[in-house]
Amino acid sequence: MKYNCALTVDCVVFKNDSIVLIKRKNPPFRGQYALPGGFVDEGETAESACIREAREETGLEVSNLTVIGAYSNPGRDPRGRTVSIAFMAEADLSKLKAGDDAAEAELVKNWQDHQIAFDHRKIIEDALKILSYK
């Protein structure tokens, strides 16, 4: 049996009614807002990958990770099949700055008014549902 998907992570960090988003530097979806995240390296846990990717793309040290869910729609990434584990996290936003493959990193208040890459809008909406249950 051949497996043909990569494992990725996405990180949701809220501050009041705003969310940390990056603007993608590279295709696909170059220039669009997206959640910080990326591919899980060999030998790395999903949690460690989430912490690393958040640091690389936003300069933030995230903590208190909570799983939002797993996202596996076969068409979620035009580069090929990926399955993402999405996490909510907390962070001190004073160090927010773009890095790695993020052209920009910012706290976005009206994220609903923007195009969001991949299936990240659904991930954000699912995270908000979890917060509303708490």
* pLDDT at residue 12 in the model: 98
Q: Fold for 6-133, please state it.
A: Nucleoside Triphosphate Pyrophosphohydrolase (3.90.79)
The domain segmentation of the chain, as residue ranges, is 6-133
Catalytic residues: 104
Report pTM. 0.94
Question: pLDDT tens digits, residue range 5-64?
Answer: 999 999 999 999 999 999 999 999 999 999 999 999 999 999 999 999 999 999 999 999
- Comparing C-alpha atoms, which of 71, 72, 10 is closest to residue 39? 10
